[in-house]
Amino acid sequence: MTATTDLGAHSDQADDHAAGRPHAQAAGRPHRPAPPAPRRPGEGPDPEQPGRDGQPGLDAAVFRAAFRRHAAGVAVVTASGPAGPVGFTATSLTSVAVEPPMLSFGISVGSSCWPVVAEAPYVGVHILGEHQEELAALFARSGAERFGPGTAWSPGPHGVPVLDGVAAWLVGRVAGRVPAGDHRIVVAEAVAGDPHGPGRPLLYHQGGFHRLGH
């Protein structure tokens, strides 16, 4: 069973995609490389575009296409803000270290959740089960009421929103927010959690949600 959506290059929720904004020019008069030759119809994107240092860089469409071939687990990240809970679907969740237990995930600075995540001392990370495609799609949908009546959750450790019925959840103390282009890599130390939820993990691949073996 497959549900189709688009989470970009394994970054975060649908309205958190890289916006394709050009990089600002540095002060002074930097060398400007000659523009690339026009592409003929049907040739597709140029795989090499000038990078930030003037050297050939990779076209964003090629980069996204490569990561569409990479299967990833699906998580929902939550945090508590002054106006209430926020959350988004992420496929960038990574285990960083065991001693101490550290994890990381990426979030766009243009995300509707970023103002809260930028200030939150704690975050929640929920690994979704294969029965939670609808929940993954809800938290990936721009403008959706993610914590509406249909979402079962409760305040967890340190006031972090914890979703019901997930395969596993962790609450982490934010240790750093590392700039990475138009994203931030949030690093957190896990301080509480439960790995004993029901079901097998939900996967994201080629623009859709999948179950193991499907």
Could you list the residue range(s) of the whole structural domain that residue 159 is in?
A: 70-207
pLDDT tens profile 152-190: 999 999 999 999 999 999 999 999 999 999 999 999 999
* Any domain includes 146: yes
User: Quick one: pLDDT at residue 29?
Assistant: 37
CATH number of the domain within which 162 lies:
2.30.110.10
The answer for residues whose C-beta is within 8 angstroms of residue 77's C-beta and 6 or more apart is 12, 87, 88, 90, 93, 105, 107, 113, 117, 123, 124, 125, 126
Confidence check: pLDDT of 41 > 80: no
Count: domains in the chain: 1
- Evaluate the CA torsion angle 59, 64, 65, 67 in order and state its sign: positive
Beta partners for 155? 161
Q: pTM above 0.85?
A: no
123-135 b/e (C-beta count within 10 Å ≥ 16 → b): bbbbbbbbbbbeb
Q: Could you tell me the two tokens for 199?
A: 């079901």
* Any domain includes 213: no
How far CA 129 is from CA of 4, 23, 141, in Å, comes to: 16, 38, 18
Over the Cα atoms of the chain, what is R_g?
Answer: 19
Measure the CA–CA gap between 125 and 168, rounded to whole angstroms: 8
* Any domain includes 102: yes
Beta partners for 62? none
* Any domain includes 201: yes
